[in-house]
Chains A and B, each alone.
Chain A
Amino acid sequence: MPDREHDHTLTDDVRLIRVLVRPDWITNKGGRERAASFVFLDGLTHEVSCYIDSVEARDALRGRYPNMQVAVITVAAAMRSGHVVARDDDGGEGIPGHVVLVQVDAEQESKDHIRKTKQLAAESTLEPL
C-alpha cells in the first residue's frame, strides 16, 4: 500500500460521495437513514474509496451502479475522524475524482479505528446517486 498524503488543495467543504452498494450499508437510527457504521471501513487495504462530488463522477457511477444511494461526507468530517483524503486518480476505474480515505490517527483494526469509522458514518447523509 503506498504512503498516502492528504491533499491540502481540498478545502473543508468539499463533498465526498461513497456508493452504498448493498442494502445493509444503509441503516435507520432514530428515524433517520444514514450509512451503516462500517461503510467507511476497509478490512484489508484500510483505504476507502470515495469520489469528489461532481456531475461527471455521478454520471459515471450511475452508469455502473444504477439506482443506488450515496453517503455524503465532507473533507472536514473525514479529517475530524482522523482520516487523510488522498487523491488516487489511478484507482477510480476511470471515474473522475477518486480519492481514498486513510485512517492515520488510530492503529488499524483497533477499537479506536472502529470508533472513528463510526464517527464518520454518523456524520454522513444519504442522497440518491
Chain B
Amino acid sequence: MIAAVSTGPILEKTKPFVSQTASTSLFASAALFESAPWLNEALSRVHELEQAGQDYPGVGDLRVPAATGTATRILLSNIDLPVLPKTNFSVASGGAIVLSFNTAQREAEFTIFPSGAVVLNLLQGGELTNDAELLPSDQRQVKNAVLWALGRL
C-alpha cells in the first residue's frame, strides 16, 4: 500500500515555481505541505504541547520551551514523505519532546531537547537496535529513520 504512493509528480510540479520566484520560502512551504499532508496536523500537535505544558511542583516542569518547539518543527519539516507510521508526541520533564513513529514491530523515537540536541532510537520488537545523536536539520538521518520504521529500509 505504501509503495503505491508516489511523490514524484508533485515534486516535479513544484520545482519550477521554487526556482523561478524571489519569494522562495513561501512556495517551498506550500510544496512541503502538498508533499506531506500530515505535516499540518503534526505542527498543530507541537503547538498544543507548547500551549498545554504545565509545571508540576515537586515532580517536574513539563512546559515546552520555544526552542524545543522550533527544533521539533525543523525535524518534522525534514520528513518529506506522503504517509507516516502512527505518530505519538509526549513531553518529558524539562520540556523535552519525545516523538515516535510506530508500526507493528518497528519504532523510530526522537528525543528532542531544548538545547536542540536530538537522540534517535530505533527499536524492533521493543528492543533497541540502533541509536544516534543528531541535529533536527539532519534531513537524511531523520527521513531514513522514518523510512526504517515504515519497513522501507
A interface vs B, CB < 8 Å? 18-19, 21-22, 24-25, 29-30, 36-39, 41-46, 48-49, 61, 64-65, 91-93, 95, 98, 109-111, 113-115, 118
Binds A, one of B2-10, B23-31, B33-41, B90-98: B90-98
Find the B residue at minimum CB distance from A119: B128
Whether A41 and B96, one on each chain, are in contact in the complex, defined by CB atoms closer than 8 angstroms, is yes
Complex interface: chain B residues within 8 A of A110 (CB): 119, 133
B153: CB under 8 A from chain A?
no
Whether B88 and A24, one on each chain, are in contact in the complex, defined by CB atoms closer than 8 angstroms, is yes
Complex interface: chain A residues within 8 A of B61 (CB): 44
Complex interface: chain B residues within 8 A of A115 (CB): 128, 131
Whether B119 and A114, one on each chain, are in contact in the complex, defined by CB atoms closer than 8 angstroms, is yes
Whether A49 and B60, one on each chain, are in contact in the complex, defined by CB atoms closer than 8 angstroms, is yes
Whether A42 and B58, one on each chain, are in contact in the complex, defined by CB atoms closer than 8 angstroms, is no
B101: CB under 8 A from chain A?
no
Per the bound structure, the CA–CA distance linking A9 and B87 in Å amounts to: 44
B117: CB under 8 A from chain A?
yes
Binds A, one of B14-22, B76-84, B108-116, B140-148: B108-116
Whether A111 and B60, one on each chain, are in contact in the complex, defined by CB atoms closer than 8 angstroms, is no
Per the bound structure, the CA–CA distance linking A118 and B56 in Å amounts to: 22
Complex interface: chain A residues within 8 A of B91 (CB): 22
